[in-house]
Amino acid sequence: MLTFAVLGPLEVRANDHPVDVGGRLPRRLLAILIAEEGRPVSENRLVEGLWGDRRPRNPAGALQVYVSRLRRVLPGTALQRSAGGYRLLAADTDVERFRGHLVRARALVAGDRPADAHEAFDAALRLWRGTPYEDLADDESTIAIRAALLEQRDSAQEEGASALLATGDHAGAVAMLELLVHTAPYRERRWQLLALALYRSGRQADALNAVRRVRTLLAEELGVDPGPELRQLESRILSQDPALAATGVAAVTPGDRPLSSFIGRDAELALLDRLVGMHRLVTVVGPAGSGKTRLAVKWAGPDAVVRLADVADPAPLVSAVAAAVGVTGLAEDPYEALVKRLRLHGTPLVLDNCEHLTGEVARLVVDLLDRIPTLRVVATSRSPLGVDGEHILPLGPLAADDAVTLLTDRIRAGRPGWFEQDADGRDLHRLADALDRLPLALELAAARVRTFGVRGLIEQLDDRFTVLGRIPLGTMTPHATLQEAIAWSFDLLSGDERDLAVQLWPYEGGFPLEAAASAAAGLSALVTLVDESVVTAETGGSTARYRMLETIRAYCRAVDGDPTATRAAHAVWVRELVARAAGDLQGVRSAATMAALRLELPNLRAGLAHDLTHAPVEALRTAARLMWFWIRSGLLTEGNRMLTAALAAAPDAPLGDVVRAKASSAGLFYFTGDVTTARRMLSEAFLAVDSEPEHRSLLAEVRYYQALVQLPGGDPAIALTASAEAHAIATETQTTWLIAATAMTWGAALVMADRIADGRHRLRAAVRLADASGLVWTAALSELMLAQTMVDAGDGEALPLLRTSLRRFLNEGDLSNQLAVLHNGALALDAAGDAAGAALLRNVVHFHQAHSGIRPAGTYLQSITPHGWYEGAPPAQPPTLHDAVAVLTSPARAV
C-alpha cells in the first residue's frame, strides 16, 4: 500500500518502507498531482509547475519521460491520463488523514468529550513535518494551497489547546499556549485561551498580564486594539466572573456512555478518520456483535449517534433523526427542521443500526447530502446502504491480541483476583478464536468464566447460545441475547437466502464460489448473504473464497430443520471435489489442484469424518484418491490414519477400492521410511488384481508404485519388471501421466541394476517426455533422480539439476520432495567442501522431518547418509525453507 506525505518534504512509502521517486523534478511532478487531490492537471500546468520559464526544448516529451518513471517506481498507483491531463487517483495522503482527524476531533468536541478530542487534534498535528508541499515552486496556486493548510493547522492547534483546557489540565494548557502565542503572536484566540488557562490555574494576575501583553503588542506593532472577545474576557477576569472557573465539560448522564473500556480497533478508528476526511458518506459494515455501534460512539461521542434500532416503521424515520440531533417543537415540517439543524450543527451525522431500513435511510441520506453540501454522514449497518459515492469500512473480528486483552479485562471485572497464567494464555486464544473474536461474544464469555473457567467454557461452546446467556443491561446492543442479534440479520433475508445460509453451515474453513452457486438460490442469494454480513467474502487472492463466522454457523445449525441431511450433502460435495481432483494430482494441473485441495483441507477432514461413520466405503475411496495430496502436503501420518480407519470400517468394500487404498497406504509408508511395509502391501495389492482383467488400469498403477518403492536398496529385477509392465499398460491405455512416470521409474531401475549410463539416458528422456506433456511434477522427480546418480560421483551437473527440480517442486507445493531435494543438495554441498551450506540444508530437513514424519534420506536412488546427520533433537529455531532455497540456488555454489 502506497502512502504519500506532503506536510513537509515529500515522502512516499510502500507498506511502511520508503520509496525513492527520484530527484527534484520527479518529486515536484508527484507533489503537483497530489495537491490536486484527484483532479486532472493539464500538461501546460504540469510543465509550468516543473520548469516555470526555463522549459526544456521538448517539454511534452520530457514530461512523458517523468510520468513513465513515476509509473515504474510507484506500482499500483492510479496515475492516469485523461482528456483534461494527468491525475493521481485514490492517493492515501497525510493531508487526507489530517482532515479526517479534524472532522473526528470536532465531532468529539460537540459530544462533550474533550480528552478524546484533544487526542484527535494531537494525532492530526503530529502529521506535520514542515512546510506543506515543500517541493513545489512558490507559484500563486501553491501559495494558496499552503496558506489554506497552514490556517487549518493553526486552527487545529488552538482547538486542541481549548480541548485540553476543557479536560481540566489547566497547567498543561498554559504550557502549550505559551508556545502557541510565541509562534503566532497576532492570533488573538491564543491569547484569550492562555488568559483563561492562567485564570483557571489560580493565576489571576498572570491572566490579566497576558491580556495586557497582547494589547501592547497589537498597539505598538499594528496600531489596533484587541478584539471584543479579549476585551470582554479582561472585564470578566477583573470582576472574577464565577462562570470562568467552569471547565466547559458537560455533565454526563448515567447510561449515555458505555460503562466498560474500549479495547482494540485503533486501525479501524484511524481508517474511519481518513475515510470521513475524504468522502461524504462512509458506512461501517459488519456482522452482529462485531462492535459497529461501539466504534461509532468511540469515534463521534454518544450524543452524536442517532440510534435507529428501535425505529421499526419507516414512516417516523425523519422525525426520529430530527429529534435525535436536537430538533425540538417540530412546529414546521420535520424534514426542513432537520436540514436547518444539520446546516448549523456542522458535525457529521452518525446513523446507527440502519440494516432494517436501508432503503429509507439511503433515500434520506441522498436528499440530505444534496441539500447540505458540507454534510458528512457515517452509518453503521449489517449491509451497505447502496448509495452512489458510499465508501465501506468493513468491521470484522478483533485482532488476536486485542481479543485476548478484551477477554482478560472483562474476566477481571467479574473476578478481581483472577490473573492470567501461561496455560490460561493459550486457552484464552483458543476461546477467542472459537468465538470469532467478536466483541459481543467475548463480553458474554468473560462473564461465564466465573462459572466454567476458561477451558471448561471452551468445552461447552457446542451449545454456545445457552451457555453465553443474556446480554447485560447497559451493553450497547438492542438485543437481549447473542442468538437474537444474529436472528435479527436472518429476519431481513428472503426464504431462498435463509435456505442457502443453512445449507452452508457444515463447511469448515470456508468454501469456494461453486459450493454456493450449485444451490437452488444460486449466486444472487450469495450476494445478499455477503451484503448482509452473514457470509464474508475474501477476494484478495486469485479466486474468491467465502466464510461464515463460527457463531453464525452455530445459529444456522440450530435452526436447521434437518442437520443430518445438510451434513450428508456437504460430505457428497467433498467426495465429488476429490473425485474431480484425483486425476489432476498427477497431471498438468497438479499445482493448481494441490493449492485448491489445501484450501479445502478442513472440509476434506469434515467430509471424511462424516463418511467414516455413515458411508465407510466412500471414506475409503476418497482417502485413497488423496494419496498424492497427503504425500505432497507432508500429511503422511494423517493420511495413513484415515486409510487404516477406512479399511477397518469397510471390510466388504469392492476389490478395486481396497487395492487402491492399500497402494495409497503403501506410498505413505514409503515416505515415512517404512519401505518394508510399503513393499509388502504393494505385493499383496499386485496379487489381488493381477488376474482381474477389469482392473487393468489399476494394475498399471500398482506396478508403478511397486517399482517406485524398490528405490533404493530394493530388488532391481522387481523394479525393472514392474516398470516395464506398467509402461506397457499405460502406453496401451494412453494414460499420459503414467507413461512419463513409468519411464522415470524404468530409468531409476536401470541405475539400480548398475546400468548407470542407460538409466541416466532414460531419466533424461523421462524429463523431456514429462515436459512435452506439461507434467511438471514428474519432470521434477525425474531430475531429482538423475541428480542423485551424480551426487556421489561429484558430477557438476548435479546441483543445476537439483536447483531446477526444487523450483518445480516449490511451484507444485510438494513438501516431501522439496525435502528430498534439500537432503541431496546437502550431500552435494558436503562433497564439494561447503560445510556451512550443507549444514544449513541439513538443519531445515531435520526440523521438517521431525514435525511431519517425512524421511527424505534413503528415498529414490540415494541411500547413504553420513553418520549422525539426523540424530538427536532437531534445531529449535532452524533456518527457513526460504533460506535453504537461497543457499541451494546460489550461483556461487557448484559441485
For 270, residues 6+ apart whose C-beta sits below 8 A from its C-beta are: 97
C-alpha 165, offset from chain centre: 40
End-to-end distance of the chain based on CA atoms, in angstroms?
A: 42
pLDDT the model gives residue 256: 42
- Cell numbers standing for residue 828: 552435494
Asked whether residue 592 falls in the same domain as residue 501, the answer is: no
CA angle, residues 513, 516, 518, in degrees to nearest 5 = 105
Count of CB atoms within 10 A of residue 251's CB? 6
What gap in Å lies between CA 588 and CA 740, rounded to an integer?
12
pLDDT the model gives residue 250: 28
Asked whether residue 116 falls in the same domain as residue 226, the answer is: yes
Asked whether residue 226 falls in the same domain as residue 290, the answer is: no
Asked whether residue 374 falls in the same domain as residue 320, the answer is: yes
- Tell me the C-alpha to C-alpha distance, in Å, between residue 469 and each of 404, 405, 481, 484, 773: 20, 22, 7, 11, 61
Q: How many Cα atoms within 13 Å fall on the side-chain side of residue 97?
A: 21
Residue 881 inside a domain? The answer is: yes
Weakly modelled stretches of the chain, pLDDT under 70: 1, 75-78, 90-91, 246-260, 329-332, 420-423, 472-478, 519-521, 541-542, 792, 852-853, 855-859, 862-864, 891-895
- The type of residue at 337 is A
Residue 122 inside a domain? The answer is: yes
Q: Specify whether the CB–CB gap between 862 and 856 falls below 8 A.
A: no
What gap in Å lies between CA 349 and CA 300, rounded to an integer?
9
Phi, psi of 384 (to 5 degrees): -65, 160
pLDDT in tens, 379-405: 999 999 999 989 999 998 999 889 998
Final residue before a domain boundary, out of 628, 659, 690 = 659
What gap in Å lies between CA 786 and CA 778, rounded to an integer?
12
* DSSP-assigned beta bridge partners for residue 283: 379, 392
Asked whether residue 443 falls in the same domain as residue 539, the answer is: no
Residue 684 inside a domain? The answer is: no
The count of structural domains within the chain is 7
What gap in Å lies between CA 575 and CA 639, rounded to an integer?
16
Asked whether residue 112 falls in the same domain as residue 238, the answer is: yes
Q: Specify whether the CB–CB gap between 406 and 290 falls below 8 A.
A: no
Asked whether residue 87 falls in the same domain as residue 176, the answer is: no
- The type of residue at 150 is L
Provide the residue range defining the domain that includes 30: 2-93
Helix (H) or strand (E) holding 298: helix 292-300
For 759, residues 6+ apart whose C-beta sits below 8 A from its C-beta are: 747, 748, 749, 750, 751, 752, 753, 789
pLDDT the model gives residue 259: 55
Residue 145: name the closest of 6, 15, 350 by CA: 6
pLDDT in tens, 776-831: 989 999 999 999 888 867 777 888 899 899 998 888 888 888 888 999 888 888 88
What gap in Å lies between CA 807 and CA 223, rounded to an integer?
80
Which CATH number is 221's domain given? 1.25.40.10
pLDDT the model gives residue 252: 27
Asked whether residue 238 falls in the same domain as residue 101, the answer is: yes
Residue 706 inside a domain? The answer is: no
Final residue before a domain boundary, out of 243, 271, 297 = 243
Residue 265 inside a domain? The answer is: no
Residue 748 inside a domain? The answer is: no
What gap in Å lies between CA 137 and CA 163, rounded to an integer?
36
pLDDT the model gives residue 254: 31
pLDDT the model gives residue 622: 96
What gap in Å lies between CA 105 and CA 270, rounded to an integer?
12
Q: Is the CA virtual torsion 342, 345, 346, 348 positive or negative?
A: negative
What gap in Å lies between CA 153 and CA 621, rounded to an integer?
70
Q: Specify whether the CB–CB gap between 895 and 803 falls below 8 A.
A: no
Residue 525 inside a domain? The answer is: yes
Query: What is the β-pairing status of strands 536-538 and 377-381?
Result: unpaired
Asked whether residue 414 falls in the same domain as residue 445, the answer is: yes
DSSP 41: B
3-state secondary structure 800-854: HHHHHHHHHHHHHCCHHHHHHHHHHHHHHHHHCCCHHHHHHHHHHHHHHHHHHCC
For 686, residues 6+ apart whose C-beta sits below 8 A from its C-beta are: 699, 702, 703, 706
Asked whether residue 389 falls in the same domain as residue 292, the answer is: yes
Count of CB atoms within 10 A of residue 570's CB? 22
DSSP 470: B
pLDDT the model gives residue 475: 60
Which CATH number is 512's domain given? 1.10.10.10
Q: Report whether the peptide linkage leading into residue 712 is cis, meaning its omega lies within 30 degrees of zero.
A: yes
Asked whether residue 569 falls in the same domain as residue 552, the answer is: no
Side by side, the strands of the sheet bearing 545-547 are 511-512, 545-547, 536-538
Count of CB atoms within 10 A of residue 290's CB? 27
Final residue before a domain boundary, out of 366, 394, 422 = 394
Residue 227 inside a domain? The answer is: yes
Asked whether residue 456 falls in the same domain as residue 574, the answer is: no
Q: How many Cα atoms within 13 Å fall on the side-chain side of residue 86?
A: 24
Assign 86 to helix, strand or coil: strand
- Tell me the C-alpha to C-alpha distance, in Å, between residue 156 and each of 153, 165, 191, 245, 639: 5, 14, 15, 24, 63
